């Protein structure tokens, strides 16, 4: 994975805006789905699929690919939109989001979209799946494998006891080939995380279970890239990246409002959001000129 130069950062920032627009278009067509989380994670997914991940859209089941596990499956619009923009399927297919018979279900369904690594929906299960994959790779290849297992989790999902069982096992087994990314956006469907079930002190909790812990601005491309690079340099334990994000990022009316966790924009709200994103895209171009 190479260092990010200015032109690549500009490319990634512009691509993230395009992915946010695709998310909005899909949600408007679906008339259901989750808005805040997908918009908030667009920068991270863009950095992964267009710079960090070892993958091949022309050969989705390439044996040496990195594995991506989306544990909080309800934010799948950002996964679908990013995969579409990176060439796994046509971007226009996002208009079928959540439609009956679509490959793009409201939660990832591997039987419908085989290039997914897992199906997800019930929260709290993804990290256990990722731990299993990391263990299998180590058993098969020892320390020689250069494949990484990346597991994306929501912060509200950390209310699930199953997650902490997986965290404990990964720490015990010193799974250096496992990197977890927590979307620390501070909201969940019922309100703010610290009101529903406080998570802090979150860093110290992960450290207590034997993980290398990093905190970053989840909208800073360089910070995302540097954190993954550091995680790959740690050989004695798994790494978790706590990514502080703004839910609804890119659309002011949606930002930091937990009510957008599980609600889609209507047609007018979507049109306003797309106009705002077009302006944001223009600003990114100007900033890099």
Could you read off the pLDDT of 49-108 as tens digits, one per residue?
Answer: 999 999 999 999 999 999 999 999 999 999 999 999 999 999 999 999 999 999 999 999
Question: Rounded CA gap, 33 and 273, in Å?
Answer: 16
Strands of the sheet containing 149-154, edge to edge, are 67-70, 149-154, 178-184, 239-244, 212-217
- Cα angle value 224/152/111 (rounded, 5°): 130
pLDDT for the residue 281: 80
Question: Rounded CA gap, 170 and 223, in Å?
Answer: 24
Which residues are registered as beta bridge partners of 239? 179, 212
Residue 152 in 3-state DSSP? strand
For 244, phi then psi, to 5°, come to -80, 115
The domains found in the chain, sorted by start residue, are 6-287 (3.40.50.970)
Question: Rounded CA gap, 190 and 197, in Å?
Answer: 10
Question: Taking the model in full, what pTM does it have?
Answer: 0.96
Question: Rounded CA gap, 260 and 240, in Å?
Answer: 26
Length of the chain: 289
Q: How does DSSP classify residue 52?
A: I
Which residues are registered as beta bridge partners of 195? none
What residues in the chain have per-residue pLDDT under 70? 1-2, 142-145, 285-286, 288-289
pLDDT for the residue 142: 63
């Amino acid at each position: 994975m190479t260092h990010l130069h200015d032109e690549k950062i500009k490319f990634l920032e512009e691509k993230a805006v395009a992915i946010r627009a695709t998310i909005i278009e899909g949600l408007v067509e679906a008339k259901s789905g989750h808005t805040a989380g997908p918009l908030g994670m667009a920068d991270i997914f863009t950095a992964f699929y267009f710079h960090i991940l070892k993958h091949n859209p022309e050969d989705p089941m390439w044996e040496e690919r990195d594995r991506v596990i989306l544990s909080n499956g309800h934010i799948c619009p950002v996964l679908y939109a990013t995969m579409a923009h990176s060439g796994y399927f046509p971007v226009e297919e996002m208009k079928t989001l959540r439609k009956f018979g679509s490959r793009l279900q409201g939660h990832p369904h591997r039987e419908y979209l085989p290039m997914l690594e897992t199906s997800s929906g019930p929260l709290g299960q993804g990290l256990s799946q990722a731990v299993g994959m990391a263990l299998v790779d180590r058993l098969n290849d020892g320390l020689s494998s250069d494949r990484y297992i990346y597991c994306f989790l929501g912060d509200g999902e950390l209310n699930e006891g199953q997650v902490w069982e997986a965290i404990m096992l990964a720490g015990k087994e010193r799974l250096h080939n496992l990197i977890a990314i927590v979307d620390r956006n501070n909201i969940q469907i019922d309100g703010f995380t610290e009101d529903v079930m406080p998570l802090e002190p979150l860093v110290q909790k992960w450290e207590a279970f034997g993980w290398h812990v990093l905190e970053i601005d989840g909208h800073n491309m360089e910070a995302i890239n540097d954190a993954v690079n550091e995680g790959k340099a740690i050989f004695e334990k798994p790494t978790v990246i706590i990514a502080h994000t703004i839910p609804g990022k890119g659309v002011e009316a949606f930002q930091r409002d937990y009510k957008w966790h599980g609600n889609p924009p209507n047609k007018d709200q979507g049109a306003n959001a797309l106009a705002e994103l077009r302006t944001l895209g223009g600003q990114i171009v100007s900033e890099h000129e």
